[in-house]
Amino acid sequence: MEHGKALSLAHLWTAFLCFLPAIGLGFWQMLMRSPLPAPVDDPNTYYASVTAHGSIMAYVFPIFFAMGFGYAIAVSALGRPLQGEKLGWVGYALALIGTVMALVPVAAGRASVLYTFYPPLLGSPWYYLGLALVIIGSYCWIALMLVNFRTWKRENPGKPVPLAMFAITACAILWGWTALGAVCEVLFQILPVTFGWSHTIDAGLARTLFSVTLHAIVYFWLIPAYIAYYTLMPQAAGGRLYSDTMGRITFILFLVFSIPVGLHHLFMDPEHGAGFKFVQSVLTFMVALPTLLTVFTITASLEIAGRVRGGKGLFGWIRALPWDEPMVLAVGLSLLLLGPGGFGGLINMSYAMNAMIHNTSWVTAHFHLIFGGAVVIVYFAIAYELWPRLTGRPLVSKRLADIQLWLWFWGILITTVPWHIAGLMGQPRRYAIFDYSDPVAAKTAFLVILSVIGGCIVLSSVLLFFYVLVRSSFAPVAESMPPMRYALSVNPPATVPSLLNGFGLWNVILLALVLIAYGYPIGQFFFLHNQNAPTYSLTREIAK
């Protein structure tokens, strides 16, 4: 048990220690884009910074977090030591080496290709190899989640797998499938060029392969937060989960529907016809279902807790909830931000409406609202929940933790709402600098400055988060620490249908859907006219 804790803690510390500089870079980027003075003031540095910020926030931070959280769940929810802990450390080492390998060339200005790679843009091979290594490290974790899941099922025949373990396994399987898109792009498209075996890239195929990863990765980020929604929050609120079955269905729907939808990131791309774009647009609507189920179930669970605590009337239960509990507060705030974030997403994935906001700041604002507002705020609460269990030292102050979560909530809101509006006014994304003497850009100046103020609040929230974590790590060891408890549902299931206790059929449906939705869009590149384009190398060495 003790060793399992060290493994979890190492992953979580690494995740947050990477998160800290990435937040700092993000804040500087906001300054660069604003009319306010910015240190260094160099567009090339901006793109290097965006690459580092994006690579950390999209890959490194959530991967390390999911790995650490997954190991903690495997030990605490299954109530048995972690199987294959050595492989866990191997995965950790691989991912850590990969992170360093990827970030050094970025810092040297030799891989400013942004985290989405954007071929035929081409950076240093070390960057791509590093990220591939991070993903290989995460595959060790996927293997361990599957092994521990299977072992528990074998040892407890007929019993329902605890919801938290069921969900984190769904998360691992989802990541395993969806990461293959980016892996194929790097292996078969980008690396051959960086090694000089080829000088051209089929940008359309590369973008299509990346889209396989690009949407489902959002659900890979989101599922750990949803696990806290379903299994940690009702417990912290002093109530019960409204429905265990609803949770299982939610995570299964995420697994099945989040991959064959990535083409909605390519609505404005010329390499695909309208037909498959429309089909994937429809399938994307299916991904809204599990989130709607979750909003219903979690609100119901909150109401149960509120009424158990003596809340009366139509809305009285809301006031009766323990809002000073960081987990309850974080989930409440996360649900609030999930609303506008989710509806913004519905606009992005609607084939016709997408044209209005494609390539504008609206999109960047949207994914910052979803990732920061709905996901990371819960990561904080999970950290507050896990740290005492992993270190044996109590949290120094729940009050400071609450203040931190409120700061984050307002910071994200103030950052992203004006950002959305600037996007609607036509502000393009991926721009390092704007000429605010231009009347068109000048109209967005006030909104951008508002965003910077929000960024300031976000930054202060993160500093406070680290203050709480570090102080807690030096607090005296508590004599007894209650173990991690996962919420019971109102009707705890004695058995569940095998369909809701494993992933066999769902993997088959998932693969069938991916084949139907992506078979032709990817397959066409093998028989259509060759569309290779010369690469745009960032440095002359790569071009040679």
**Any idea which residues carry the catalytic annotation?**
215, 219, 366-368, 429-430
Quick one: which segment of 93-101, 182-190, 197-205, 373-381 binds another protein (CB under 8 A)? Answer: 197-205
In the complex, the smallest distance separating the C-beta of residue 420 from another protein, rounded to whole angstroms, is: 22
**Contact with another protein (CB under 8 A): which of 13, 24, 42, 464?**
42
Q: To 5 degrees, how large is the angle CA 101–CA 107–CA 109?
A: 110
For another protein, which stretch binds (CB under 8 A), given 77-85, 140-148, 232-240, 529-537? 529-537
The torsion region of residue 122 among left (phi > 0), alpha (psi -120 to 50) and beta comes to beta
State the helix-helix crossing angle for 398-424 and 445-473, rounded to 10 degrees.
160
Residue with tokens 């750990």: 224
- Give the residue from 106, 29, 33, 71 showing the smallest Cα distance to 434: 33
How many whole angstroms from its chain centre is CA 117? 18
- Cα gap 397→402, rounded to integer Å: 9
| 282 vs 470, beta carbon nearer another protein | 282
Out of 1, 6, 17, 44, the only residue in the binding site for another protein (CB under 8 A) is: 44
Q: How far is the CB of 536 from another protein (least distance, A)?
A: 7
Q: Is 115 in the site for another protein (CB under 8 A)?
A: no
Is residue 511 a contact point for another protein (CB under 8 A)? no
Q: What is the DSSP string of 14-28?
A: HHHHHHHHHHHHHHH
Name which of 350 and 539 has its Cβ closer to another protein: 539
Span interacting with another protein, options 67-75, 223-231, 366-374, 497-505, rule CB under 8 A: 497-505
- What does the block give as tokens for 177? 């499938």
Position 118 contacts another protein (CB under 8 A): no
**Interaction with another protein in 148-167: which residues (CB under 8 A)?**
157-158
Coil, strand or helix: which one is 123?
A: coil
532 lies in the site for another protein, by CB under 8 A: yes
Q: Read off the amino acid at residue 244.
A: D
List 81, 313, 497, 519, residue binding another protein (CB under 8 A): 497
CB of residue 273 to another protein, shortest distance in Å = 3
* Stretch 237-256: interaction string toward another protein, x if CB under 8 A: -------------------x
Q: How far is the CB of 342 from another protein (least distance, A)?
A: 20
Mark the segment that binds another protein (CB under 8 A) among 196-204, 228-236, 417-425, 463-471.
Answer: 196-204
Which residue pairs from 320-323 have beta carbons closer than 8 angstroms and sit at least 24 positions apart in sequence? 321/237, 322/236, 322/237, 322/238, 323/402
As to burial, measured by CB atoms within 10 angstroms (0-12 exposed, 13-18 middle, 19+ buried), residue 212 is buried
Which chain residues interact with another protein by CB under 8 A?
32, 37-45, 47-48, 108-110, 112, 157-158, 198-200, 256, 271-279, 282-283, 286, 432-438, 495-499, 501, 505, 509, 513, 516, 520, 524, 532, 534-541, 543-544
